[in-house]
Structure 1
């Protein structure tokens, strides 16, 4: 089932009198429970498209339809609510809160997302997810004591603990070695399928493409 559609999406950045069109009319559909990888050279517009799809910046023109809702017609407050409750984000760096333990990172995300679970239920969800990603033994660890792979595992858990409908991953393995990259992509693939999440992945790493259900190549602001 199609859960996300970009329709004729354009993005222009203006620097003084110079206008540069980064996205030149993108059409893209994403399906529930699938991973779509965006690939292309630097400057092709991949990350710009991802941030517009995720409601992190507005399009200059076109529409973003998510789960039957037109994000481009929403005000900033409505978009923030969608991002908090129905989207998850993974970036190249884990961006963990330095003074929170692994389990506290996840509990904070549940609070931010407006979870209706009781505190006891939230703690149970966190314990189960940390166990699922192989981090239950590190539940009380702070980011400073974690390896790069451990930090990224916690970042992934934080991104999906509130059971979002969509996951946006921008170069999630770029800072990891090949072994850790494989482990992280296997985890993203498993969680996508298990939870029925729709994942939009930006990557330069061709080895990661085997985990995608669809590969979309971008060049000069267009989908090839």
Structure 2
């Protein structure tokens, strides 16, 4: 069942006196519990499409539907509320807060997100998620003592702790070696299926495509 739809989405940017069209009419639907990978050369529009889908910027034309609702017609505050409650984000860098422990990173996310988890149940949920990503033994550790793979595991835990329906991943393995990249992708694949999360991922690493349900190739602002 489609939970996310992108309908005839276009995006243009002003480049001096010239308008540069980055996306030229994209149609895409995403099903629940599915991992979709966006691939293509640099400048093809992958990251622009991801950020529009995630509500981080608006399309110049077209519509984005999440859970049957048209995000294109929403106010910035309404979109912020969806991002805070229904979306999770993982990037190339973990962006962990250096002075917070692993457990505190997740507790902070619960504090700033519009989570449905009751306050008295949040510690239990943190323990559950840390066990899922095999990082419970490092819950009192600071980012400086973690390996690159461990940091990404914590970043993934932080992205899903508030029980989002969508996970957006922009080059989540780009800073990792081959073994750690596979470990992180296996984790994303497992969590997507176990928690019924819909994942949209941008990647340049062809080895990571084996963990995806669908691969969408983009070129010159179009799906090819």
Structure 1 length-normalised TM = 0.98
Structure 1 partner of 2:85: 85
Which deviations, in whole Å up to 9, do the C-alpha atoms of 1:178-224 show, x marking residues without a partner?
00000000000000000000000100000000000011000000001
> Post-superposition shift, 1:110?
1.1
Structure 1 partner of 2:182: 182
> Post-superposition shift, 1:114?
2.3
Q: 2:5, 2:179 → 1: CA distance?
A: 34
Q: 1:75, 1:15 → 2: CA distance?
A: 27
Q: 1:35, 1:115 → 2: CA distance?
A: 23
Q: 1:162, 1:110 → 2: CA distance?
A: 6
Instruction: Tell me whether 1:40 sits opposite 2:40 in the alignment.
Output: yes
Instruction: Tell me whether 1:115 sits opposite 2:115 in the alignment.
Output: yes
Q: What are the residue-to-residue correspondences of 1:39-188 with 2, within 5 Å?
A: 39-188=39-188
Q: 1:223, 1:127 → 2: CA distance?
A: 41
More displaced, 127-136 or 172-181? 127-136
Contact 2:90–2:172 (CA<8 Å) still a contact in 1? yes
Q: 1:85, 1:119 → 2: CA distance?
A: 15
Query: Structure 1 residues 38 and 6, CA, compared in 2 at 3 Å: closer, same or farther?
Result: same
Which deviations, in whole Å up to 9, do the C-alpha atoms of 1:25-66 show, x marking residues without a partner?
000010000000000000000000000000000000000000
Q: 2:115, 2:156 → 1: CA distance?
A: 18
Structure 2 partner of 1:2: 2
SS of 1:158 mapped into structure 2: helix
Point out where structure 2 has 5 or more consecutive residues left out of the alignment: none
Q: 1:184, 1:163 → 2: CA distance?
A: 19
Q: 1:160, 1:56 → 2: CA distance?
A: 18
Query: Structure 1 residues 63 and 116, CA, compared in 2 at 3 Å: closer, same or farther?
Result: closer
Query: Structure 1 residues 21 and 193, CA, compared in 2 at 3 Å: closer, same or farther?
Result: same
Structure 2 partner of 1:23: 23
Point out where structure 1 has 5 or more consecutive residues left out of the alignment: none
SS of 1:41 mapped into structure 2: coil
Q: 2:194, 2:81 → 1: CA distance?
A: 25
Q: 1:143, 1:17 → 2: CA distance?
A: 45
Q: CA RMSD in A?
A: 0.8
